[in-house]
Amino acid sequence: MFDKILIANRGEIALRILRACKELGISTVAVHSTADADAMHVRLSDESVCIGPPPSKDSYLNVPALLAACEITGADAVHPGSGFLSENARFAEILGEHNLHFIGPKPEHIRLMGDKIEAKKTAIKLGIPVVPGSDGAVGPDDDALAIAKDIGFPVLVKAAAGGGGRGMKIARTPDDLALALQTAANEARAAFGDASVYLEKYLEKPRHIEIQVLGDGRGGAIHLGERDCSLQRRHQKIWEEGPSPVIDAAARKKIGGTVAKAMQQMKYLGVGTVEFLYEDGEFYFIEMNTRIQVEHPVTEMITDFDLVLEQIRIAAGGDLPVRQEEISIIGHAIECRINAENAQTFRPSPGRILQYHPPGGLGVRIDSAVYQGYIIPPYYDSLVGKLIVHGKTRDECLMRLRRALDEIVIDGIETTLPLFRALVREPDIINGDYHIHWLEQYLSGQSGG
Ligand code: ADP
């Protein structure tokens, strides 16, 4: 096992990793920018190192500063959390070159899945069903219109290096195609430094369903069921739940089995998520995330596994905690991502939290790094915290969620709490009857009066 882990992240995920380290008896090193000197992850860790000024590129993405922090503190492993360097294959390699463990997948798997075109090709090879689309990148010399017609309109132009919903444009008709290709490529070049784009059939009313996996890197791999992340704004998840209201045990076993088998063949190491769109009873692979995800607590609540703790144990050479047949899904869990944003305009609202009262009671969990008096800095994402609620059934979970949302107090900044309080009372949400475009349609109805 590792002796000392440096946590190369901030906010709630840094605190989440710190908690797993404490339980495992591993010392922790927090790193922080000058803007985060008073952050909770810094206060609770055994040691901390300031790694630079507020902009991420100078601090949380500053590889030489992180290496120096490992050197100074004698850390033997680095946990990258999610975001920042968590899916940077080169960072994982550099750590290896310095005799430091990267708590995450093998660099070649990070690289493979980071390129969505290669990821899709790999999925096809491994027998995973994919969204119909172009065979690879669509370049200036290709007859994009012919390819799109072959797929059938509407089509979605997607960035090979995509992430965070950026570099994605819909072409509903042949007339839209040239502009969609150009804007997606420009956006991709600006965001990722790679303008390659590809085409996919645009699905009208799918759900986003993802399978959580865990692999030992030696050919052992299991799945831990699905999360339904269909409630999205601008392709960003805001509400995640498990199990999905539309997936039964037989469908779970089938897709979960396919995915676990693929991970066994790859000799995948650590935690990962294989993402699908699901429409009319069919699954279509869209991408794989090779890190711990923001919504991992949903799976933790319904399987009773500490995913971050297992991720650390496995990175240190440990075995899978259980066999597939020993995993069962217990009850239902929902996670709300509470952001420091206006609930209607979604304008960020950084600033000081004047009042903070987290909800409590049976089945209620808060993953957050804020406290009363904490100032949310303007430099990073606007997540204030995640409210995760568990119940024996979906109805019980919704009942608790309504109560917890009414109980929580966060004053001084604007948050998206009013949106969740409305959503949890919407008939479609209560019935589990929604798809990936539901929220945008709901929000445009709200703003239209
Ligand atoms: P990113 O890496 O940017 O998050 P993903 O490929 O994971 O991109 O897609 C993010 C979201 O975009 C999906 O959850 C879904 O809502 C939407 N999306 C992606 N591909 C399609 C598609 N072919 N048809 C319709 N919506 C899609």
One-letter amino acid at 130 equals V
Report the nearest atom of ligand 1 relative to the CA of 202: 24
What six digits make up the tokens of 176? 């839209």
pLDDT tens, per residue, the chain with 449 residues = 999 999 999 999 999 999 999 999 999 999 999 999 999 999 999 999 999 999 999 999 999 999 999 999 999 999 999 999 999 999 999 999 999 999 999 999 999 999 999 999 999 999 999 999 999 999 888 899 999 999 999 999 999 998 888 889 999 999 999 999 999 999 999 999 999 999 999 999 999 999 999 999 999 999 999 999 999 999 999 999 999 999 999 999 999 999 999 999 999 999 999 999 999 999 999 999 999 999 999 999 999 999 999 999 999 999 999 999 999 999 999 999 999 999 999 999 999 999 999 999 999 999 999 999 999 999 999 999 999 999 999 999 999 999 999 999 999 999 999 999 999 999 999 999 999 999 999 999 986 44
> For 203, how many CA atoms within 13 A lie in the half-sphere containing its CB?
21
Backbone angles phi, psi at 397, to 5 degrees: -60, -45
CB atoms within 10 A of CB 363: 19
Report the nearest atom of ligand 1 relative to the CA of 232: 16
Distance 90 CA to ligand 1 centre (A): 25
- Residue 181 located in a structural domain: yes
- How far apart CA 382 and CA 358 sit, in angstroms, is 18
Distance 283 CA to ligand 1 centre (A): 13
Judge if the beta carbon of residue 200 lies within 6 A of ligand 1. yes
Among 82, 87, 117, 168, name the best residue to mutate to test ligand 1's pocket (greatest count of ligand atoms within 8 A of Cβ). Answer: 168
CB atoms within 10 A of CB 432: 15
Distance 200 CA to ligand 1 centre (A): 10
Q: Residue 52: which CATH number?
A: 3.40.50.20
Amino acid 164: pLDDT: 83
The 3-state DSSP class for residue 251 equals helix
Judge if the beta carbon of residue 289 lies within 6 A of ligand 1. no
Question: Structure pTM?
Answer: 0.96
One-letter amino acid at 167 equals G
Amino acid 449: pLDDT: 44
Residue with tokens 């995915």: 259
- Which residue range forms the structural domain that includes residue 169? 132-201
Report the nearest atom of ligand 1 relative to the CA of 275: 7
- Residue 377 located in a structural domain: yes
Q: In terms of domains, do 177 and 235 share one? A: no
Q: In terms of domains, do 266 and 390 share one? A: yes
Q: In terms of domains, do 78 and 197 share one? A: no
- Residue 263 located in a structural domain: yes
Amino acid 447: pLDDT: 66
Distance 148 CA to ligand 1 centre (A): 17
Judge if the beta carbon of residue 115 lies within 6 A of ligand 1. no
SS3 per residue for 378-412 = CCCCCEEEEEEEEECCHHHHHHHHHHHHHHCEEEC
Q: Which of 103, 124, 151 is the last residue of a domain?
A: 103
Catalytic residue among 10, 227, 252, 291: 291
Q: Which of 201, 229, 244 is the last residue of a domain?
A: 201
Judge if the beta carbon of residue 162 lies within 6 A of ligand 1. yes
- Comparing CA positions, the residue from 295, 294, 260, 254 lying closest to residue 274 is 260
Q: In terms of domains, do 184 and 212 share one? A: no
Q: In terms of domains, do 244 and 187 share one? A: no
- How far apart CA 304 and CA 183 sit, in angstroms, is 44
Among 286, 436, 439, name the best residue to mutate to test ligand 1's pocket (greatest count of ligand atoms within 8 A of Cβ). Answer: 286
Q: In terms of domains, do 327 and 290 share one? A: yes
Q: In terms of domains, do 422 and 375 share one? A: yes
Q: In terms of domains, do 19 and 80 share one? A: yes
Distance 286 CA to ligand 1 centre (A): 7
53-62: long-range contacts at Cβ-Cβ below 8 A with a sequence spacing of 24 or more?
Answer: 54/377, 54/379, 55/379, 56/84, 56/379, 56/380, 58/33, 59/31, 59/32, 59/33, 59/34, 60/8, 60/9, 60/10, 60/31, 60/33, 60/84, 60/85, 61/85
394 is catalytic: no
Among 118, 155, 230, 235, name the best residue to mutate to test ligand 1's pocket (greatest count of ligand atoms within 8 A of Cβ). Answer: 235
Residue with tokens 């040691």: 47
Q: In terms of domains, do 366 and 255 share one? A: yes
Residue with tokens 């493979």: 112
Contact 38, 30 (CB under 8 A): no
**Domains in the chain: how many in total?**
3
